[in-house]
Amino acid sequence: MNENKQAENNRSIDAARLIDLFLAGAANLEAGKEWINELNVFPVPDGDTGTNMTLTIKSAVAEVENLDENSRSMRDVCKAISSGSLRGARGNSGVILSQLLRGFGKVVRGENEITVPIISDSFARAVETAYKAVMKPKEGTILTVARGISEKAKELADQGVEDFDTFIPEVLAYGDEVLAKTPDLLPVLKQAGVVDSGGQGLIQFLKGCYDGYLGKEIVPAAAQPAEEAAAEAPAEPEEPELKYLYSTAFTIVLDKDFNKAAAKSLRKYLESLGDSVICEQAEETVVVQVHTNDPGLAIQKGIQYGQIKGLVVENMKLEKAGSAQAAAETEAPAAAASAAAAEPEQEMPHKDTGFITVSVGQGIEEIFRGLGVDCVISGGQTMNPSTDDILNAVRKVNADTIYVLPNNKNIVMAANQAADLSEDKKVIVIPTTTIPQGITAIINFAPDLGEEENRENMLAGIEAVKSAEVTYAVRDTVINDVEIHKDDMMGIGDAGILAVGKDRDETALACLEKMVGEETEIISVYYGDQVTEEEAEKFRESVLARFESCDVELQYGGQPIYSYILSAE
C-alpha cells in the first residue's frame, strides 16, 4: 500500500506541491544571484542578471503567498505565478523568465495534477511563449537553455517515462549540458570565459524546484559547487581600501502603506548591505542613505515601496578628503533629495499625448522634464524598473496615448510588456537604448503629426545617434579580442567596446574618435556625479580642440557609475 502511495507521489504533482517546488526554486535563485551577476559578459559595476531574475520571481512569490488557504487550486496558483512574474519582471532575463512561467501556466492551470506528459507539454508552451516575446531571439542565451530542457522533456515523455524521480534529474542534467555549450553559440561568452548568465539563472531556479520536490531545505548561502565556481566564475576582486565603496542616498516617494513593520524590514535589509544607514520617514516619503558595495540592491529594495527621487551614488574611494569629509558630503545630497521629494506633486491635466522616460541622475532628469516628459522613472543601469513600475507610471500620466522611452536595452522588453498589459491607454514604446537616443527621440516628436508619423520620425532620429558610456572595469576579461583589466576605463558604444585605457578622459576621447564622422555636427557630453564641473570643462576643451568642426555641448547629468555619457549626431 505504501509502495503504491509512493509511486503516486512520484508520478504527479498537485497544486500544494507545486507551491512548494516554486518557492524552493525562488529561494535557490536568490541564493545564487550574486554569483549569477558575476557571469555578465561586460565587467561593469552593474551586472544585474541574477538580481533581475530574483526580483522577478520574488514578485510572483508574494502573490503566491498571499493566496487564501481556500483558493489554492492549480488555476489560482498558476495565475498568481504568471501575474506576479509578469508585473514584477525586470531586465531582459526577468521578462523572458516571466514569459516562460506564463507559458507553463497556460497548460498546467487546467489540470488537477501535473504528470510527466503534462509538464512536457507545458515546457513546450513555455518556450514558444518566450520566443514570441523576443523580437530578435538570440541563441546561446536563456532561450537556448529553455528549449533544450523542453526537448529533453518531450524525449523522455515519448519514451514512456512516468516518474519524476527519473524525469527531473535527466532533464536537469541535459539542461547543464546545453548551458555549458552556450559559449560555443555566442563567441562573446567564450572570450569572457563564462556561460550565459540568464541560462544559469534558469538552471539555478529549476534545481531549487528539484530540491523542493525532494523536500530539501534551501540554505540562503547556497551557491554553485566549488568546482564549477573555479571553472566559470571570474576571479574574486581585490578588497577595496574602504570596506564599503559607495555612499548611496535617495528618497522614496511612497505609493503604498509603509507601517512600522515595513520600516523595520527596510532598515534591516539596508544594514545587511553595509553601514552608515539612515532610514527616516517623513509623511509620504522615506529618506535613505547607506554605505555599501551594492548600490543597485539598495535602490531595487527602495523601488518596492514607491518611486525613487534625488538619487546620488558617490564612489568614496575617489574622494580626496578622509572618511569624515566624505560622510559630510553625502549627507547634503540626501537632505537635498528629501527636500525635493517632499514637494507635493501637482495634479496632471488631461491631454492627448504624454511621455514617460527612464533615467538616473538629477541633471538628466531635469533635461527630460525640460523637454516635456511627464514622468521620469528612476532607473537604467544598476536598477532596471519592473513592468509594474512602468505600468504605475502609465496610470499616473493623464493622457490617452503615452510614449515610453526605456533608454536602456535591458528595459525595452519590460516596457513592451507594460504596453501589452495596459488596458485603458494606448502605450507606444520607442525602443531607445541610451540616454542620448531618448533625448533625440523626444526632440523629434511633433505635436501636429499623427501617432504613426511621430513613431517613424522618432525611430529615424535615434538611428542617427551614436552613443557611448565611460565607466571602469570590475574584473579582468577579454571582449571581442579587446583585453580588459580590473580598474581600466572602458568606453562602451552602441555595439560593444569602443575604447579601453587607464585615463578617463583619454578613453572618452578615443570613443569619440570612433563615433565622429564627416557628417557629425554636434557632440554632447553628459558628465556624471563623480566628475567635477572643472574637470568636465577641461574635457570639453579637449574635445573642441580635437573636433574643431563640431559644436560641443556640455551638460551635467549627475548619473552614478558612468563618468561620461557621450553622443555624436
pLDDT over 70 (residue 382): no
| All cell numbers assigned to 567 | 553622443
pLDDT over 50 (residue 380): yes
pLDDT over 80 (residue 319): no
Find the Cα–Cα–Cα–Cα dihedral 257, 386, 337, 48, rounded to 10°: 130
Share of the chain above pLDDT 90, in %: 57
Give the fold, CATH level 3, of 246-342: Alpha-Beta Plaits (3.30.70)
Where do the structural domains in the chain lie, given as residue ranges? 2-232, 246-342, 351-463, 467-568
Type of residue found at 13 = I
Note the pTM of the prediction, 2 decimals. 0.74
Burial class (CB within 10 angstroms; exposed 0-12, middle 13-18, buried 19+) of 29 = buried
Find the Cα–Cα–Cα–Cα dihedral 169, 175, 177, 179, rounded to 10°: -150
167-171, 244-248, 349-353, 549-553: least confident range: 244-248
Type of residue found at 466 = K
**What's the pLDDT at 178?**
95
List phi, psi (to 5°) of 464: -90, 0
The mean pLDDT value for 441-458 works out to 93
The mean pLDDT value for 113-117 works out to 96
**What's the pLDDT at 317?**
62
Cα separation, 153 vs 387, whole angstroms: 30
Tens-place pLDDT, residues 395-439:
999 999 999 999 999 999 999 999 999 988 999 999 999 999 999
Among candidate residues 25, 82, 75, 36, the one with its CA nearest the CA of residue 59: 82
What superfamily would CATH give domain 351-463? Answer: Phosphotransferase system, mannose-type IIA component (3.40.50.510)
**What's the pLDDT at 219?**
57
Counting Cα atoms < 13 Å in the Cβ hemisphere of 558 gives 18
Give the fold, CATH level 3, of 467-568: Hypothetical Protein Tm841; Chain: A;domain 3 (3.30.1180)
The mean pLDDT value for 539-560 works out to 93
Query: Containing H/E element for 158?
Result: helix 142-158
**CATH number 1.10.10.10 given to 2-232:** no
* Confidence band of 318 (pLDDT split at 50, 70, 90): low
pLDDT over 90 (residue 476): no
pLDDT over 90 (residue 259): no
Longest dimension (CA), the chain: 88
* Confidence band of 292 (pLDDT split at 50, 70, 90): confident
Share of the chain above pLDDT 70, in %: 86
Tens-place pLDDT, residues 229-240:
334 444 443 444
* Confidence band of 255 (pLDDT split at 50, 70, 90): confident
Query: Containing H/E element for 327?
Result: helix 323-342
**216 vs 567, more confident:** 567
In Å, what is the CA distance from 271 to each residue of 57, 288, 547?
Answer: 23, 11, 48
**What's the pLDDT at 8?**
57
SS3 186: coil
**What's the pLDDT at 237?**
38
**What's the pLDDT at 298?**
79
Cα separation, 289 vs 248, whole angstroms: 6
Highest mean pLDDT among 160-169, 311-320, 467-476: 160-169
